[in-house]
Structure 1
Amino acid sequence: MNKAAVTVIGLGEMGRALADALITAGHPTTVWNRSAAKADDLVARGAVRASTVEEAVVASPLSLVCLLDYDIADAILRPAAGALRGRTLVNLTNGTPDQAREAAAWATSRGAAYLDGGIMAIPSMIATPQAFVLYSGEKAHFEAHEETLEALGAAKYLGADAGIAALYDLALLSAMNVMFDGFFHSVAMATSHEEGSAVGFTELLVPWLTGMAQVMPAFAADLDSDAEPVLAQGLDVVLASVRNMAQASRDAGVRADYFEASAATLEKLLAEGVTAYTAPAAVRRLRRVS
């Protein structure tokens, strides 16, 4: 069965991985990059190298854009604006929700169908069961190309607002970044003595974090419910633990900024008469604008 033609604009590590997945899946693939040599290996595998962005867009009904940021994407796509009419543009460039909405408005005004996306994978994960890609924009545009998009990873549609994919993308990345910061902090503590081993410690950390991650759906249920939270812990108990983590960090010669700030917040809450530590209360505090 003939596969739909696809264009990939931007051949950094991720862009090349996207193009490679499409070629492997049998899609006629056109590629473009400012540094044309980055397409050499893809051309050797059967891709067509476009000499201009306009030529690349005209080559396929669907164009995937994967660039450093939205400013670069805008600068590259504007000269090809006339070629977008009647075609679908899927912007997989990392950016903010407002940038995604602005890009959607611009593309739509040029007669293009637009989807914004967030790639939840590193390049080596593309086209594997571990990869998934978030999409937002008009559902009809997503459904028209869903089969093609599945070649990159599980395609997850979030809604008509073009900014939702970017919002979820950055929210998911924020969880990852905080997790890795926590990992680095914990390893700095655990390896502060002579017998400390990052590898040995991590063998304990991974199953611990994996087990604790199983609590998140219960937290989420509390967050979505108007009832009293099911999961609650004494605020005084949490504060005692945070103070101990701060002191142990300082004793190990590791910065304790996060725990010191957390302790200060919890102390203030206790002084205000708050006694329970719950997920809904924690999220409400994060949403406060000072």
Structure 2
Amino acid sequence: MTDINVSSTIAVLGLGAMGAAIARAAAAGGHRVVAWNRTPRSLEEFGLDGAGVIELAESPMVSVDDADMIVVCVRNHDASRAVLDQIGSTLSGRVVVNVSTGTPAETVASAEHAAQLGVRYVTGAVMVPTPMVGTEQSFVIYAGSPTDIADAELLFDAMQGTSDVVGDDHAVPPALDLAMLDIYFAGMYAHLHATALANVHGIEPTRFLPYARGIVETLGASLPGLTTAVEKRSYDSGEARLDMCLSFLEHIVATSREAAIDPGLAEVVRSASASALTSWPGSTDWDVVGEEFLASP
């Protein structure tokens, strides 16, 4: 990592919750921060008063005027491309790190757009909630050319935690981001559903929580086996039969309906399992339900 240099200036374009957290982390790391937001507010309104050397600029052009590097954190990639159109002509030799949320296709399009403008460009995906930005728990995934990544280390230092550089394919950071969030939101939804199901039967949420944590640990231990099954497309370990798992799912769905609770994800998984059983023997590992995705174009 590079040594913190108090004379370094980082421009942060976009002061939503994540942009403000990045600005705060950069200032706390000893950098001068010049920030811009489409909707003008005061440092106090952004929660940035007393956070270090942070100045507000009236336009993107002013914010990047003497910046050593630029961070773009706006609502989406349509907005980030519009920002780059405004500042692209002023960015010779400097790196832009775009951490705006988007799909893999959108981030690739933004990288191509930046290249057309002659902008040195890095894609980033922040994988933690805003309170963890600038702490050892921070985790950000980056993609870009080796030279551009090297010059983005000012931001790596400021963000702290883990800076995971995954190569130069700009589709990879958002693909990893969205894939991880796929698990995260499904898990949270399943926990809320399960908590409600237990509560109907007199099991209070706090009493259920240790059981929920236990099954999450079991799930974590199951992931390597699922990964191996997907990689080899082999479903013959005999550990979790498709027909047995379908029976469990039928009971979850039935119990939910008896309690007047929408079966939710359990119904989706039950249907996928029943569909797999029309093509595979009941003794096949339940993991075979993943073939539905592997067979998709």
- Confirm or deny a common fold (TM above 0.5): yes
Deviation at 1:229, TM superposition (A): 6.1
State the distance in 1 between where 2:276 and 2:208 align.
33
Structure 1 pair 233/197, CA: closer, same or farther in 2 (3 Å)? Answer: same
Q: Which residue of 1 aligns with 2:191?
A: 183
State the distance in 1 between where 2:131 and 2:83 align.
26
Q: Which residue of 1 aligns with 2:170?
A: 162
The structure 1 residue matched to 2:23, chosen from 14, 19, 34, is 19
Deviation at 1:81, TM superposition (A): 2.1
1:69 partnered with 2:76: yes
State the distance in 2 between where 1:67 and 1:200 align.
41
Deviation at 1:16, TM superposition (A): 0.9
Q: Which residue of 2 aligns with 1:34?
A: 38
Q: Which amino acid aligns with 1:219?
A: L
Q: Which residue of 2 aligns with 1:113?
A: 120
Higher deviation after alignment, 137-146 or 85-94: 137-146
The structure 1 residue matched to 2:63, chosen from 46, 52, 56, is 56
State the distance in 1 between where 2:206 and 2:15 align.
35
Deviation at 1:224, TM superposition (A): 3.2
Q: Which amino acid aligns with 1:30?
A: V
Deviation at 1:43, TM superposition (A): 5.8
Structure 1 pair 225/286, CA: closer, same or farther in 2 (3 Å)? Answer: closer
Q: Which amino acid aligns with 2:127?
A: M
Q: Which residue of 1 aligns with 2:267?
A: 260
Higher deviation after alignment, 94-103 or 37-46: 37-46
Deviation at 1:228, TM superposition (A): 6.4
Within 5 Å, give how 1:1-290 maps onto structure 2.
2-3=5-6, 4-40=8-44, 42=48, 44=50, 45-146=52-153, 148-152=155-159, 153-193=161-201, 195-225=202-232, 230=237, 232-274=239-281, 275-279=283-287, 281-289=288-296
Post-superposition CA distance 1:228-255 (Å, at most 9, x none): 6657421111111111111111112111
TM-score, length-scaled by structure 2: 0.88
Higher deviation after alignment, 200-209 or 120-129: 200-209
Q: Which amino acid aligns with 2:259?
A: A
State the distance in 1 between where 2:21 and 2:84 align.
21
Structure 1 pair 198/132, CA: closer, same or farther in 2 (3 Å)? Answer: same
Higher deviation after alignment, 62-71 or 267-276: 267-276
Structure 1 pair 251/156, CA: closer, same or farther in 2 (3 Å)? Answer: same
State the distance in 2 between where 1:221 and 1:58 align.
51
SS of match in other structure, 1:11: coil
State the distance in 1 between where 2:147 and 2:25 align.
24
Contact kept, 8 Å, 2:276 with 2:289, in 1: the verdict is: no
Q: Structure 2: 5+ residue runs without aligned partners?
A: none
Structure 1 pair 273/20, CA: closer, same or farther in 2 (3 Å)? Answer: closer
State the distance in 1 between where 2:39 and 2:280 align.
61
State the distance in 2 between where 1:272 and 1:227 align.
15
Deviation at 1:8, TM superposition (A): 0.8
Structure 1 pair 14/273, CA: closer, same or farther in 2 (3 Å)? Answer: closer
Q: Which amino acid aligns with 2:173?
A: A
Deviation at 1:192, TM superposition (A): 1.1
State the distance in 2 between where 1:253 and 1:57 align.
56
Deviation at 1:47, TM superposition (A): 1.2
Post-superposition CA distance 1:153-194 (Å, at most 9, x none): 31101121111111111111111111111011101101113x
Q: What CA RMSD, in Å, does the superposition of the two structures yield over aligned residues?
A: 2.3
